[in-house]
Structure 1
Amino acid sequence: MSGSAEAQIIPLHGPGREKAAEPVADEPRADAPVVAFPSAPSERERPAEVPSALSADTLPEALVSALSFIKSRLTGDYTVDEFGFDRELTETLVLPPLRALYEKWFRVSAHGVGNLPSEGGALIVANHSGTIPLDALMTAVAVHDEHPGQRHLRGLGADLVFRVPFVGALARKSGQTLACNADAERLLRSGELVGVWPEGFKGIGKPFSSRYKLQRFGRGGFVSAALRTGVPIIPCSIVGAEEIYPKIGDIKPLARLLGLPYFPVTPFFPLLGPLGAVPLPTKWHIEFGEPIRTDQFAPEDVDDPMLVFTLTDQVRESIQHTLYQRLSRREGVFRG
């Protein structure tokens, strides 16, 4: 058939039809087949384009991030530093669940974030409590999420942390390292924010009756590391962690059997089993104090035991004083 390849189908019925032409002599029979040629749909009838379901522009940001993470794991296209810190894994897998605790469960309020340097190294020294060291994890979230530069806190942990299967490996990958001066100084010299909790197990394992009373700060090794690297020391006071697991007892024989510093007894654990391990939803405050400078001391003063003792005591008193101030203004354990 000659003519256009896009023939139109003429409707036989319907409104708006112009007056029919005079019938021709050879009109087709009613039972004769009708051949219709395809026509191009009008703009009104043409279906809208459906965007690709896997387009990066249409997927939620969290899903795009997860797919990118999986791809990098499968291809091996990711990096870790000399301490084993995996930044991508930390931001994709570790921080989101901790952030839910931080924002929804403990409702943490961070104060004095402006005292954290925008760049360069600093040593954050905090009180330790809570029976289980969730305070260290919440401090890491505060540093990352509240700081404009979203910096990562490189915590110094006890050797027990790195001996526990899976926990030790995850701690390494999330930026933690062994609490020793050599590692601390290397991190500080490379410009990292380093966190230390000098009370150690004496702090997190103290009884509920001693809450918010700082324990001994050891021999001041953290001060020596700060002096050798010339970085500021930032006191950090945490209110709210003491009440998440009120420790009212300690099963020492069981602790020795398991190789633990203590086996806590709380009003809910071990009486309620796994349910008793759920922390109480207390209201938290994390306050970063005024930095204490160390760069004004001469190199020969670094090994002066009196200077180390004086600075250690200054940091401890700063944290204790801030704790008492926060507690005096607190409306309640759960309201804050």
Structure 2
Amino acid sequence: MHARHEDDEGAQVIRLASARQDGGEAAGPAATEPGSGPGSGSGSGPGPLERGIASGLAFLRRRIAGEYEVDEFGYDPDFNENVLLPAARALYERWFRVEVAGVENVPAEGGALIVANHSGTVPLDALMLSVALHDNARRCVRLLGADLVYQVPVLAHLARKAGHTLACQADAARLLGKGELVGVFPEGFKGVGKPFADRYKLQRFGRGGFVGTALRAGVPIVPAAIVGAEEIYPKIGDLRPLARLLGLPYFPVTPTFPLLGPAGLVPLPSKWMIQFGAPMTLEEYAAEDADDPMTVFNLTDHVRENVQQMLYDTLLRRGPAFF
């Protein structure tokens, strides 16, 4: 009897779901009965809290049972989807209110190299770029990080879980060869740690190693401009003796840190915009051109000019930094 009763209830749920998909006209009396509407707590299905709890319990069950996969780089899609991305998404949607444009320029599949500016004193722009591509382009970006990132135990572990790896040509080539979307910040710490007076002015793009990687892999380069990160921790000073003591590239002084202590670590709620530009296909070049210093230099300079112009355009479109 109980099994039959559960089957009947299941059939009723399926009929109701089908009726709602068809416009709700065939839902029958159950759709208009008192207490069956949204928010009534009865007959409207599980709410966000219940779904969240169910999802969390399912995640824990998979972790305990070992029902998840980790690739050769340490990327853990299940952990990234259920822990890292939701945490970053809270900042993305509610604090920085990120807007994305030009996502149609990101290839829907296959290898490609995203080249973006880097800023913010603390590199939260890497997290926001990851969320933007995951939620809008439906792709996981494999970011290339500096050695320092992988020298900090907890941070290194989380970066690997998120799918990121060292900024070296060998790892980048392997990822691109697997058809992955790879992200790089050629300015490095020079961009992240630049003073507030130099905001939105690109620093040197290194030696152009990313261009050589793209040429060898035969993948397009997609320039990206990130506006908003410059204002979250305005760097007005640098305690260099302390930075050397701690082994850091810089130790920033901002209007709130270290003056306000831990409270000064809260980023200011600037308005963010991320713009993806038209891809550079590099079809007129051959893989051997990656060994030509002049070709690499010219292409690096061209990409840098594209990103800088996109920054200026996006900055004008955004308007005031905090509204």
**1:239 — aligned with what?**
227
Number of the residue aligned with 1:6: none
Question: CA 1:133/1:59 → structure 2, altered by over 3 Å: closer, same or farther?
Answer: closer
Q: Within 5 Å, which residues of 2 pair with 1:49-68? A: 60-68=50-58
Which of 58, 69, 76 in structure 2 is aligned with 1:79? 69
CA contact (8 A) 2:211 2:290 kept: no
1:295 Cα deviation (Å)? Answer: 3.5
* Residue 315 (str. 1) matches residue 303 (str. 2): yes
Q: CA deviation at 1:60?
A: 2.9
The answer to whether the Cα contact below 8 Å between 1:127 and 1:236 also exists between their aligned partners in 2 is yes
Mark the CA change 1:214 to 1:56 in structure 2 (over 3 Å): closer, same or farther.
Answer: same
Tell me if structure 2 keeps the 8 A contact 1:56–1:64. Answer: no
Kindly indicate whether the alpha-carbon contact (under 8 Å) linking 1:156 and 1:194 is maintained by their aligned counterparts in 2.
yes
1:96 to 59, 65, 86: 86
Q: Any idea what SS the aligned residue of 1:77 has?
A: coil
- Number of positions where the alignment pairs a residue of Structure 1 with one of Structure 2: 279
Question: 1:281 corresponds to which residue?
Answer: 269
Contact 2:105 2:277 in 1 (8 A): yes
Q: Rg bigger for which structure?
A: 1
Instruction: Map 1:1-336; keep pairs closer than 5 Å.
Output: 60-147=50-137, 150-335=138-323
C-alpha distance in structure 2 between counterparts of 1:328 and 1:134, whole Å? 22
Structure 2: gaps spanning 5 or more residues? 1-44
Deviating more after overlay: 202-211 vs 304-313: 304-313
Amino acid at match of 1:327: L
What letter is aligned with 2:272? W
Shift of 1:76: 1.2
Deviations 1:172-228, CA, capped at 9 Å, x for gaps: 011110000000010011011100001000000000000010000000000011000
SS of match in other structure, 1:286? strand
- State the Cα distance separating 1:65 from its structure 2 match: 1.9
Partners in 2 of 1:57 and 1:290 — Cα distance?
41
Residue 57 of structure 1 deviates from its aligned partner by 10
Identity %: 65
Structure 1 alignment gaps of length 5 or more:
1-54
Question: What is the alpha-carbon distance in structure 1 between the residues aligned to residue 48 and residue 248 of structure 2?
Answer: 50
1:64 to partner: Cα distance? 2.3
Counterpart residue identity of residue 102, structure 1: Y
Letter in 1 for 2:174: R
1:231-262 residue CA offsets vs partner (Å, 9 max, x unmatched): 10000001111010000000011111111000
Using a 3 Å threshold, how does the CA distance of structure 1 residues 97 and 309 change in structure 2: closer, same or farther?
A: same
Distance 1:169 1:130 in 2: 22
Counterpart CA distance in 2 for 1:238 and 1:315 is 15
TM-score by length of 2: 0.84
Distance 1:220 1:59 in 2: 48
SS of 1:154's partner is strand
What letter matches 1:98 in structure 2?
A
Q: Distance in 1 between matches of 2:88 and 2:52?
A: 16
| Aligned equivalents of 1:199, 1:298: Cα separation in 2 | 26
CA distance in 2, matches of 1:182, 1:294: 20
SS where residue 300 of structure 1 aligns?
helix
> Cα RMSD (Å) of the superposition?
1.6
For 1:299 and 1:136, the matched residues in 2 are separated by 29
- 2:7 alignment counterpart: none
Instruction: For residue 82 of structure 1, report the CA deviation from its aligned partner.
Output: 0.5
User: 1:302 aligns to what SS in structure 2?
Assistant: helix
Could you give the per-residue CA deviations for residues 41-95 of structure 1, whole angstroms, max 9, x where no partner exists? Answer: xxxxxxxxxxxxxx99998332222112111111112110000000000000001
Amino acid corresponding to residue 220 of structure 1 in structure 2: G
CA distance 1:57–1:328, change in 2 (3 Å): closer
Deviation at 1:330, TM superposition (A): 3.2
Retained in 2: the 8 A contact 1:211–1:242? yes
**Structure 1 residue 299: deviation in Å?**
3.1
- The 8 Å contact of residues 116 and 225 in structure 2, kept in 1 or not, is answered as yes
Contact 1:227 1:295 survives alignment (8 Å) = no
Is the CA contact 2:258–2:264 (under 8 Å) kept in the aligned structure 1? yes
